[in-house]
Amino acid sequence: MSTGEYKETEVPALTGIMGRCPRCQKGHLFRGYLQLAQRCEVCGLDYGFADPADGPAFFAMTLAAVPALAFGVWFQTSFGLPLWVHVITTVPLTILCCMALLRPLKGWLVCSQYFHKAEEGSIDREWHAERAKARQREQK
Ligand SMILES: [Zn+2]
């Protein structure tokens, strides 16, 4: 299938947050809460290229840490409660914030990978051979 018959995303962040396919913007990106589907059910795009690795977890922890810490400090200074109260309030709040952020962040990163055609680095041996020949010609 060519990409010409689909309206590819121009805003990968928005498409990813909505959990939609970056090529057709109609199919679903996820099979479960965080598990990616193998391919888009509408356009057939294989999601094998998608590898956000620890990116969603890093961003979720970073984004959730500051408000959670602020809440914990405010809660402690306002009420002077014992430590175990934080175990049943601040810790679950932090975990819930992280869980709520993981899916949209993963969708954003996968759609950005598709949009920017990001992939693992590789050595282009033909390009290097051409460059070496060009340098040799310049030195003569
Ligand atoms: Zn699709």
From the CA of 7, how far away is ligand 1's center (Å)? 9
Place of tokens 């996968």: 110
pLDDT tens by residue, 25-36 = 999 999 999 999
For residue 24, what pLDDT is reported? Answer: 95
Per-state percent for the chain, helix, strand, coil, to nearest 5: 60, 5, 35
For residue 120, what pLDDT is reported? Answer: 76
pLDDT tens by residue, 105-125 = 999 999 999 999 887 777 888
Q: Residue 2: is its pLDDT beyond 50?
A: no
From the CA of 21, how far away is ligand 1's center (Å)? 4
Amino acid at 25: Q
How far is 125 from 55, CA to CA, in rounded Å?
30
From the CA of 31, how far away is ligand 1's center (Å)? 13
For residue 110, what pLDDT is reported? Answer: 96
**pTM (predicted TM-score):** 0.78
From the CA of 80, how far away is ligand 1's center (Å)? 52
How far is 98 from 59, CA to CA, in rounded Å?
9
List the beta bridge partners of residue 20. Answer: 28
From the CA of 41, how far away is ligand 1's center (Å)? 7
Of 43, 56, 40, give the one whose Cα is nearest residue 107: 56
From the CA of 6, how far away is ligand 1's center (Å)? 8
From the CA of 17, how far away is ligand 1's center (Å)? 15
pLDDT tens by residue, 40-99 = 999 999 999 999 999 999 999 999 989 999 999 999 999 999 999 999 999 999 999 999
Band (pLDDT 50/70/90 cuts) for residue 1 is: very low
From the CA of 99, how far away is ligand 1's center (Å)? 25
Is the CB of residue 61 less than 8 Å from the CB of residue 47? no
From the CA of 19, how far away is ligand 1's center (Å)? 11
Band (pLDDT 50/70/90 cuts) for residue 4 is: low
For residue 123, what pLDDT is reported? Answer: 84
Of 39, 17, 35, give the one whose Cα is nearest residue 27: 39
CB neighbourhood size of 19 (10 A): 19
pLDDT tens by residue, 6-27 = 899 999 999 999 999 999 999 9
For residue 130, what pLDDT is reported? Answer: 93
Domain range list for the chain: 3-139
